[in-house]
Amino acid sequence: MAAAVGRICGARLLKNTGIVGPQVCQLSTSTQGWTRNRKLLLSTLGAVGGGVGALLFALEQSVQASGNEAHPPHQPWSHDGWFKAFDHASVRRGYEVYKQVCKACHSMQYIAFRNLVNVTHTEEEAKAEAAEVMIKDGPDEEGNYFERPGKLSDYFPSPYPNENAARAANNGAYPPDLSLICSGRKGGEDYLFALLTGYMDPPAGVVLRDGQHYNPYFPGGAISMAQALYDEAAEYTDGTAPTASQLAKDVSAFLRWCSEPELDERRLMTIKALGMFSMLAAVVYYFKRHKWSTLKSRKLAYKPVSKK
């Protein structure tokens, strides 16, 4: 059937043998056939497009260069790469670090206990984690609000009732919600790791206000969060040695998972899609050759019509 369709199409293309030659010439992209105006227009468009691109690139570079913060070094994350997955043991340990250290100041309002199920914890474990916290609920039948142990469907509770309370407790600085922080900061988990392990004494000439600390990776250098991670600042249930860098690595991996909980699934889809599409591509290529074979193997002859 395909061959028949090809023949019909081919027949229509070739109907008026006398003008086949000139028509083909009109469609050609060779610059010889272009009018002067068209050449001018296209060159102007090219020059303007190139100029705008170069300007944008230069602006982006100058913005990067104007910052005075150190650039975070790249770390070899287990989930780095098209076909890589999270290290779930590390994400689980990261949850433990968040729970024991960061939770004191940072909320995580978009992550619920049910999200942990089958990622870092079993359902039973996640239920037990949820039951450890008290959640405000209500109103009950008499119109009163009450506290109850958490359930799987509850979101992580916030340490402060509102932003003002958070600022009042932290020298006026607001500890940002950590649910999406990894996607929200340039450098992602590399930045988080560098920030958490990068505290140092301020260099000469840098004056910090009360309650500020020096961290070269934080824009401006003066951060209102004190160093949170030291060796043994948290305990791991799996027996890993809780050194400061281990804690920072695990909590950064956990925060990447919080920002992109679908990452593993997406990578799995990539593998499936590549597999399927490469098979399809072979079929499509064969079919294309098949369909075009009548046209491509046809010989066209140009016969000038003699003017008499």
Site residues (CB under 6 A) for ligand HEC?
97, 101-102, 104-106, 170, 173, 175-176, 181, 185, 192, 195-196, 218, 223-225, 228-229, 251
Q: Which is nearer to ligand HEC, 243 or 267 (CB)?
A: 243
Residue 277 CB, nearest distance to ligand HEC (Å)? 38
Q: Which is nearer to ligand HEC, 6 or 91 (CB)?
A: 91
Q: Which is nearer to ligand HEC, 91 or 225 (CB)?
A: 225
Q: Which is nearer to ligand HEC, 112 or 192 (CB)?
A: 192
Q: Which is nearer to ligand HEC, 91 or 196 (CB)?
A: 196
Question: Could you please report the per-residue DSSP string of 218-287?
Answer: STTSEESSPP---TTSS--TT-----HHHHHHHHHHHHHHHH-TTHHHHHHHHHHHHHHHHHHHHHHHHH
Burial of 106 (0-12, 13-18, 19+ CB in 10 A): buried
Residue 61 CB, nearest distance to ligand HEC (Å)? 22
Side-chain half-sphere CA neighbours of 117 within 13 A: 14
Q: Which is nearer to ligand HEC, 79 or 127 (CB)?
A: 79
Phi, psi of 70 (to 5 degrees): -75, 145
- Indicate the pairing of strand 222-223 with strand 213-214: antiparallel
Residue 85 CB, nearest distance to ligand HEC (Å)? 22
Q: Which is nearer to ligand HEC, 91 or 251 (CB)?
A: 251
Q: Which is nearer to ligand HEC, 61 or 183 (CB)?
A: 183
Residue 129 CB, nearest distance to ligand HEC (Å)? 17
- Indicate the pairing of strand 213-214 with strand 134-137: unpaired
Q: Are 127 and 152 in contact (CB under 8 A)?
A: yes
Residue 217 CB, nearest distance to ligand HEC (Å)? 8
Q: Is 6 helix (H, G, I), strand (E, B) or coil?
A: helix
- Alpha-helical (H) ranges within 67-200 are 88-100, 123-131, 163-169, 181-184, 188-197
Q: Give Cα 304 distance to the centre of its chain.
A: 60
Q: Which is nearer to ligand HEC, 112 or 247 (CB)?
A: 247
Q: Are 263 and 273 in contact (CB under 8 A)?
A: no
Question: From the CB of residue 129, how many other CB atoms can be counted at a distance below 10 Å?
Answer: 19
Residue 111 CB, nearest distance to ligand HEC (Å)? 14
Q: Is the peptide bond before 161 cis (omega within 30 degrees of 0)?
A: no
Residue 252 CB, nearest distance to ligand HEC (Å)? 7
Residue 92 CB, nearest distance to ligand HEC (Å)? 15
Residue 101 CB, nearest distance to ligand HEC (Å)? 4
Would residue 162 be called left, alpha or beta, if left means φ above 0 and alpha means ψ between -120 and 50 degrees?
Answer: beta
